[in-house]
Structure 1
Amino acid sequence: MKVFKRIVIALIIVLVIVVAFNYSKLNIISGYAAKNMASSVFIAGRTPASIDNYDNNVPLIKLAETEVDQKNKTITSSVFGLMERKAVYREGLGSVLVHGSYDYSKKYLRPKRHTLENDLPFPYGDNGKKDTVFGNVDYQKLQKTINNAFSEPEVKKTRTVLVTYKNEIIAEQYADGFSPDTPILGWSMTKSILATLYGILEYQGKFDLNDPAPIANWHKDERKNITINHLLRMQSGLAWEEDYTKISDVTKMLFMSSDMTQPQRLKKAIAKPGEIWNYSSGTSNLLSGLLHNYVGEGQAYLNFPYASLIDKIGMHSMVIETDMNNNFIGSSYAWANTRDWAKFGLLYLNNGQWNGEQLLSENWVTYVTTPTVNSDGVYGAHFWLNAGGKYPDVPRDLYSANGYEGQYVFIIPSKELVVVRTGLAEDPVFNVNDFLLDIISAID
């Protein structure tokens, strides 16, 4: 009995130490658990048990306990009863972490969606896919590569893979619990969606890349020389800490901020514009807020991404979530099924043209794929690049939208390929170089 008591006391002491050491993180832990659960349940239609067992079953986050209210579409999370956080689902806007001042009865605007109705197969419609057989594709070898991506599921953690060649699906596979209709969180792939909105505006003549950022307070100090180009290339020179392992600028923004367009806006300059490259989700959300200056407020702002891009190319499963102030969270929170993520890649593979209509300038595609100074050839303008040879056995013209935990839309123009892979493990645990090399090798 004495031994048992000592063990209990020891466990309590350890628990107290763990909680005390991480107490300041509890806001982030419970916030992440609530937000991720809410979006995964109410957008992706997955079960709370699957999210607990996989998505939220990671260090610290797994300490959180969540309660699901299906009727009111809310999720409440806490860690040992401490630091309770609540996420609320709003139709059309996704899920959002709310604070005590949130008015549940208040009516809110939502985007007006337009379904593209036709009888066309993928990618220009949703009437299935073509049954084309390409003579230069080794389908057996390709399938072996796809199967390998799903092997060792506890390590590679692949959820979906889709390969298009010459605009047609040549391979597609889903893990248990996922299907062609399951929306997947793109995390930072959302940044590439945001950049594309600016590409559309640029093609429409709404702004110039070298225009100073339209922020009045910046015009009074050294920040007056920051342009839209600097922001898209993560070259603003503004202070920002992108560290997800602790309380940092990015975690405070995503899990504690009501208006995510503000944190980067309020930062001081630590370098001249163009002098350094510093990856910043705060910059993406700042750009999301600046869209108001070009497209308008309220309903016009909410409609713009869908009317100009998302519904225009038939990505009807896509939802970009908003913060409490109804700003799109352009850094992190776009959801779409795998086929719709592939459509996004195909827009770029076809140099901004979609079914005969030019949505982006070809020069914009060149712009986002031109390496940013001081990025070592890995970054363009809100897109990741292989220009520096990060993937040594893959063509250097590859560029991609990348997201946390291994969400990828790879575009390889020289091979006429778009490859989508989603999951819970990223490079190098999931070996991107070998995966893409094997796909390319299956095409003569």
Structure 2
Amino acid sequence: MKIFKRILLLLSSAILLVVMINYPKLNIIAGYSAKNSASSVFLAERSLAFTDSTDNNFSPINLANDKIDDEKKLAISSVFGLLSRKAIYREGLGAVLTLNDEDENAPFLQPKRAISDEKTPFPYGNAEPKDTILSEIDYQKLNETVNSVFGKNNSRAVLVIYKDQIIAEKYAEGFDKNSKILGWSMTKSITSTIFGILQYQKKLSVYDKAPIKSWQNDGRKNITIHNLLQMNSGLEWDENYDKISDVTKMLFLEKDMTKAQEKKPLSGKINASWNYSSGTTNLLSGIIRNQFQTQQEYLDFWYTNLIDKIGMNSMLLETDLAGKYIGSSYAWATARDWAKFGLLYLYKGNWNGQQLFDETWVDYVSTPTPTSDGTYGAQFWLNAKPTFQDVPKNMFYADGYQGQRVYILPDQELVVVRMGLSQMDENAFLSGIISSIKK
């Protein structure tokens, strides 16, 4: 009996030790699941069952048990009953993880939105585009290429635009032209564009020193906004989603996500230490906030000067608990509205006759960052290396987790949108689309 008790005690101690070691991870798991569930159900208008079977079905997130309260518009996720996290949906701002009970009923402002133009055909409005057959398109080859990235490749939406015309559009079961899909880190390219607009309006220069008070007494005072946009500040940051890291702590444990990168020391040389960092992009969102006297002005600017300005009326950019836009990760929109963003860059900032940012801004964001090996610009990814051998080197793109993409191909007058749940053979996909256009 004594031996049995000792074995039981050792087993209990071992279980307790495992729980203690992994308990902080449970916070991240439950936080991810709660946040994603609330956004998917209340923002994207999907069912919880669909969300759990598709978006939350991978390890270790599938360890969480999710529940929805439709009346209060919140999601609660728990892991083994040991830890629970709650995410609430705030109208106009999206879903946000709470850190305490007071967060649930805290007051908030929301951005003022423009009314969608339902009369003008796409892309300059949201009415159905004109049905046009172009003689230079090999539609059979184009459709075969598009179809190839569905099924096992887990694509949810593909949209191909050539000379303002939709030449291919396909959706997975459960999705259509009205489905809002999370762009993940494609949101970084939205944040970058806001700087292009602010610079065009002469409200700042990206070559100014970053206006961060806490940096003024050390080497960080020499970091420019340009260095931050290029992810080349030399600041310490761990962008690892497989463990408790800087990025997971920021996204699931912080009230004000714009502060996470600010607190980090220099670990490399400014303009010579490229390091991908979502914390940097949220720091940039904080810098944008400080350009405005009021919270309302900050919230409105992103929509009135970019998002609604080009008719991306489906887009919703989520904020953190402090009301700052999570510029690194959380913009939702339909595939057609993501395509409008690509068209804005294809036309060098000119939207239907109105210039939103200087033409040279396109050259700026698509210029390789030093030490990025030709793969990164200013919050856009590049093919300058080239990464994709059969695709023009001047192609650049917004890039998000699980293969969210907006590709801009200037030479071909093409914008290609792909939304999905996993990576694919991008070289074959893009080269197939390019070759379907007979020149």
Same fold (TM over 0.5): yes
Deviations 1:302-349 (A, max 9, x none): 101000000000000000000000000000000001000000000000
Q: Tell me, what secondary structure is at the counterpart of 1:119?
A: coil
- Tell me which residue corresponds to 1:161: 158
Pick one of 433, 439, 443 that aligns with 2:427.
433
- Tell me which residue corresponds to 2:229: 232
- Tell me which residue corresponds to 1:366: 363
Separation in structure 2 between the aligned mates of residue 48 and residue 362 of structure 1, nearest angstrom: 44
**Once the 2 structures are TM-superposed, how far is the Cα of residue 132 of structure 1 from its aligned partner?**
1.7
Aligned pairs for 1:307-386 within 5 A = 307-386=304-383
- Answer yes or no: is the 8 Å Cα contact 1:383–1:401 preserved in 2: yes
- Tell me which residue corresponds to 2:104: 104
| More divergent stretch after superposition (295-304 vs 179-188) | 295-304
Separation in structure 1 between the aligned mates of residue 403 and residue 206 of structure 2, nearest angstrom: 30
Pick one of 404, 425, 436 that aligns with 1:407.
404
Separation in structure 2 between the aligned mates of residue 91 and residue 385 of structure 1, nearest angstrom: 35
- Tell me which residue corresponds to 1:253: 250
Separation in structure 1 between the aligned mates of residue 137 and residue 264 of structure 2, nearest angstrom: 51
**Once the 2 structures are TM-superposed, how far is the Cα of residue 217 of structure 1 from its aligned partner?**
1.7
Aligned pairs for 1:277-288 within 5 A = 277-288=274-285
- Tell me which residue corresponds to 2:74: 74
- Tell me which residue corresponds to 1:4: none
Aligned pairs for 1:86-125 within 5 A = 86-117=86-117, 119-125=119-125
Deviations 1:239-267 (A, max 9, x none): 00000000000000000000000010011
Separation in structure 2 between the aligned mates of residue 258 and residue 100 of structure 1, nearest angstrom: 10
Pick one of 266, 270, 275 that aligns with 2:267.
270
- Structure 1 residues 103 and 241: alpha-carbon distance in aligned structure 2, compared to 1, 3 A threshold: closer
Q: How many corresponding residue pairs?
A: 428
Separation in structure 2 between the aligned mates of residue 237 and residue 33 of structure 1, nearest angstrom: 32
Q: Which letter maps to 2:377?
A: G
- Structure 1 residues 15 and 131: alpha-carbon distance in aligned structure 2, compared to 1, 3 A threshold: farther
Please say if 1:186 is aligned against 2:183. Answer: yes
Separation in structure 1 between the aligned mates of residue 295 and residue 273 of structure 2, nearest angstrom: 35
Q: Tell me, what secondary structure is at the counterpart of 1:267?
A: coil
For structure 2, list consecutive stretches of 5 or more residues without a partner in the other structure: 1-10
Separation in structure 2 between the aligned mates of residue 317 and residue 19 of structure 1, nearest angstrom: 42
Please say if 1:147 is aligned against 2:147. Answer: yes
- Answer yes or no: is the 8 Å Cα contact 1:96–1:324 preserved in 2: yes
**Once the 2 structures are TM-superposed, how far is the Cα of residue 102 of structure 1 from its aligned partner?**
2.6
- Structure 1 residues 203 and 20: alpha-carbon distance in aligned structure 2, compared to 1, 3 A threshold: same
Deviations 1:73-104 (A, max 9, x none): 00001101112100000000000000114343
Separation in structure 1 between the aligned mates of residue 14 and residue 106 of structure 2, nearest angstrom: 44
**Once the 2 structures are TM-superposed, how far is the Cα of residue 424 of structure 1 from its aligned partner?**
0.6
- Answer yes or no: is the 8 Å Cα contact 2:98–2:104 preserved in 1: no
**Once the 2 structures are TM-superposed, how far is the Cα of residue 137 of structure 1 from its aligned partner?**
0.3
Q: Tell me, what secondary structure is at the counterpart of 2:159?
A: strand
Separation in structure 1 between the aligned mates of residue 195 and residue 261 of structure 2, nearest angstrom: 18
TM-score (norm 2): 0.95
Q: Tell me, what secondary structure is at the counterpart of 2:49?
A: helix
Separation in structure 2 between the aligned mates of residue 316 and residue 22 of structure 1, nearest angstrom: 42
**Once the 2 structures are TM-superposed, how far is the Cα of residue 14 of structure 1 from its aligned partner?**
10
**Once the 2 structures are TM-superposed, how far is the Cα of residue 69 of structure 1 from its aligned partner?**
0.3
Separation in structure 2 between the aligned mates of residue 15 and residue 184 of structure 1, nearest angstrom: 40
**Once the 2 structures are TM-superposed, how far is the Cα of residue 127 of structure 1 from its aligned partner?**
1.1
Which of structure 1's runs of 4+ aligned residues deviate more than 4 A?
Answer: 11-21
TM-score (norm 1): 0.94
Q: Which letter maps to 1:47?
A: S
- Tell me which residue corresponds to 1:59: 59
- Answer yes or no: is the 8 Å Cα contact 1:115–1:314 preserved in 2: no
Aligned Cα root-mean-square deviation (Å): 1.6
Q: Tell me, what secondary structure is at the counterpart of 1:220?
A: coil
- Answer yes or no: is the 8 Å Cα contact 2:38–2:75 preserved in 1: yes
**Once the 2 structures are TM-superposed, how far is the Cα of residue 221 of structure 1 from its aligned partner?**
1.0
Pick one of 413, 416, 419 that aligns with 2:413.
416
Please say if 1:291 is aligned against 2:291. Answer: no
- Structure 1 residues 299 and 14: alpha-carbon distance in aligned structure 2, compared to 1, 3 A threshold: same
